[in-house]
Amino acid sequence: MLSKVISCATFGIEGYLVDVEVDLSTGLPGFTTVGLPDNAVKESKDRVFAAIKNAGFRFPSKKITVNLAPADIKKEGSSFDLPIAVGILTASQSIRSAQLNRYAILGELSLDGSLRPIKGAISVSLAAKDNKLDGLIVPRSNAREAAIVEGVDVYGFDNLIEVVAFLNGEIDINPTKVNREEIFDAASQYTVDFAEVKGQHYAKRALEIAAAGGHNILMIGPPGTGKTMLARRLVTILPRMTLEEALETTKIHSVAGILSAGDSVLGTRPFRSPHHTISDAGIIGGGHVPRPGEVSLAHNGVLFLDELPEFHRNVLEVLRQPLEDGSVTIGRAKVTLTYPARFMLAAAMNPCPCGYFTDPYHECRCTPTAIQRYHTKISGPLLDRIDLHIEVPSLKYDELKSTQPGESSEEIRARINNARKLQLERFESKRKIYCNAHLGSKHIRKYCSIDDQSQSLLKTAIERFGLSARAYDKVLKVARTIADLENSENIKVQHIAEAIQYRSLDKNVWQRL
């Protein structure tokens, strides 16, 4: 007997259909899986055998051959347990359904026949919709996530017995329904706010400019000045995610298996803060079958690198390509995958190894040579890709004791939304340009023109501070953002002057010891 069950798998973050073909033939009892299965798929025979027996069904004593088509793509994971079990029960006539081709079926089986959650539910739900299937059968814990996709009925089950009864028409279960807008609104609330930050008005202003233009930012200051606190609140002033952005971000987190239990969709922009001991594969993604790295998990959000000089040099250098392209391509011998990676980079560092250079309240114990060596850990090309370099000084006592709340994230976000709206209108006809940080050299000449007075000021800054060509472009893009925040059509000299202030590491401040 031969049966065919439709299932799904993920390739990168996209889902595709997999035909699970099961053949029962005479001969010595055995179980063979073909179609490029990985070890987790090969081991499914033991889980399927135990689950079928413990669920009260008869396991056929025949030669069983399972083919996963298309056979030229590597299959991985345990989500094929349920379709394989359904295929065996269909071939042995325990399931008598003529409508198997209407559903995509996925799920990991426990030995007692209960269903465990899978990865990438939202991606496979989109694949089922694109292939015009009527429904998707998944573990109940994945049903709400998969049901976020409109246009496909999602049925959640707790165990194999329920799935068999449903396919045989013995029970009638309604598809899982969710209110996308209600779930998205509930998931869009942040637990932190800029109003909680005392003082640091200069740093707050710089972060507002960074958020308004999508610029990367580096904060330099002694320990305990609030650099990490400020960075964690950066996502709260970014424009609210659209539903399309939320679905794309959720797909990445779901495929990576880090979507929190009970979460159907990510409504807040991701904030990723990897430890400085992370490897280059951890930061950009990797593995035998490449998985998303931190740059992809931070897609549409913020990647925060604390203690920037402590990261391995090769880890920092691999950031250059995703910062420029907004995506990362990972090549292996048998597969090459591209993951989205458009994120804001926020970084923090101490001014010296001991952390107290320029701090009026602590004495620095570092030699000039040690400070120079500390700063050269960050390459020039990477620094050139960071638009704003700002100093975050220690707070004074009067600022610490103040009970006056600061400006809230919502108030700051209102100004940023207005600036982003101007940018979207300006770049409406340009593909892949959504904010000033995405401007290329050709677009800078068109949209960032300045008058003679501004030209003279910028020339003086370049000659005095030795700005590179890329730093010159960064100043113009930041000035364009400052003008947008003031609703100014033209870049004025005061906008250029403020933008130059945000290039601390270009001003040889740390060399004048």
Are 329 and 337 in contact by the 8 Å Cβ rule? The answer is: yes
Q: Is residue 216 within 8 Å of 345, Cβ to Cβ?
A: yes
Does any domain span residue 82?
yes
Mean pLDDT of 482-506: 89
Residue 493 scores a pLDDT above 50: yes
Helix or strand or coil: residue 163? Answer: helix
Question: Between residues 463 and 220, which one has the greater pLDDT?
Answer: 220
Q: For position 9, which CATH number holds?
A: 3.30.230.10
What value does the mean pLDDT take over residues 199-226?
A: 92
In this prediction, residue 324 has a pLDDT band, given cuts at 50, 70 and 90, of confident
d(CA 71, CA 298) in angstroms, rounded, equals 33
466 in a structural domain: no
258 or 406: which leads in pLDDT? 258
- Which pLDDT score, from 0 to 100, does residue 429 have? 67
Residue-level pLDDT at 511:
44
At 276 the three-state DSSP class reads coil
Q: Tell me the per-residue pLDDT of 217-255, one tens digit each, with 9 for 90 and over.
A: 999 999 988 899 999 999 999 999 988 899 899 999 999
| C-alpha R_g of the chain | 28
Quick: pLDDT tens for 280-316.
999 999 877 788 999 999 999 999 999 999 999 999 9
- Specify if 368 maps to a domain: no
- Percent pLDDT > 70 in the chain is 97
Residue 408 lies in a domain: no
| Tokens 């994971």, located at residue | 77
Task: Give the three-class secondary structure for 217.
Answer: strand
pLDDT at residue 513 in the model? 41
b/e per residue 248-279 (b: at least 16 CB within 10 A): bbbbbbbbbeebeeeebbbbbbbbbbbeeeee
Pull the structure tokens for residue 272: 């990723």
Cis peptide leading into 292, omega within 30 of 0? no
CA distance 261 to 91: 35
Residue written as tokens 């570092």? 366
For residue range 48-84, list pLDDT tens digits in order. Answer: 999 999 999 999 999 999 999 998 888 888 999 999 9
Q: Is the pLDDT of residue 431 over 80?
A: no
65 backbone dihedrals φ, ψ, rounded to 5°: -120, 125
55 vs 469 pLDDT, higher one: 55
Three-class HEC string of 441-500: HHHHHHHCCCCHHHHHHHHHHHHHHCCCHHHHHHHHHHHHHHHHHCCCCCCCHHHHHHHH
Residue 11 located in a structural domain:
yes
Q: Which of 130, 156, 380 is nearest to 264 (CA)?
A: 156
pLDDT category at 430 given cuts 50, 70, 90 is: low
The domain total for the chain is 1
pLDDT at position 215: 94
Domain coverage including residue 112: 2-178
DSSP string, 173-191: -PPP---HHHHHHHHT--S
Q: b/e per residue, 71-84, with b = 16+ CB within 10 A?
A: eebbbbbbbbbbbb
pLDDT of the residue at 205: 95
Higher pLDDT: 207 or 381? It is 207
pLDDT of residue 510: 44
Most confident segment among 30-39, 107-116, 468-477: 107-116
Least confident of 51-65, 304-318, 333-347, 421-435: 421-435
pLDDT greater at residue 497 or residue 359: 497
SS (H, E, C) 436-452: HHHCCHHHHHHHCCCCH
User: What is the structure's pLDDT at 512?
Assistant: 41
Whether 64 maps to a domain, the answer reads yes
Candidate ranges 329-333, 375-379, 478-482, 507-511; pick with highest mean pLDDT:
478-482
Say how many C-beta atoms besides its own lie within 10 A of residue 438's C-beta.
Answer: 17
CA pair distance 83, 346, nearest whole angstrom: 44
Q: How confident is the model at residue 434 (pLDDT cuts 50, 70, 90)?
A: confident
Looking at the predicted structure, is the pLDDT value of residue 509 above 60? no
* Domain-embedded: residue 440: no
Averaged over 273-282, what is the pLDDT?
Answer: 93
Stronger pLDDT, 507 or 123, i.e. the higher one:
123
| Phi, psi (deg, nearest 5) at residue 41 | -70, -40
DSSP state of 196: G
- What percentage of the chain exceeds 90 in pLDDT? 59
Q: What is the DSSP letter of 363?
A: -
Query: Which tokens in the block code for residue 501?
Result: 């202030």
In a domain, 281, yes or no: no
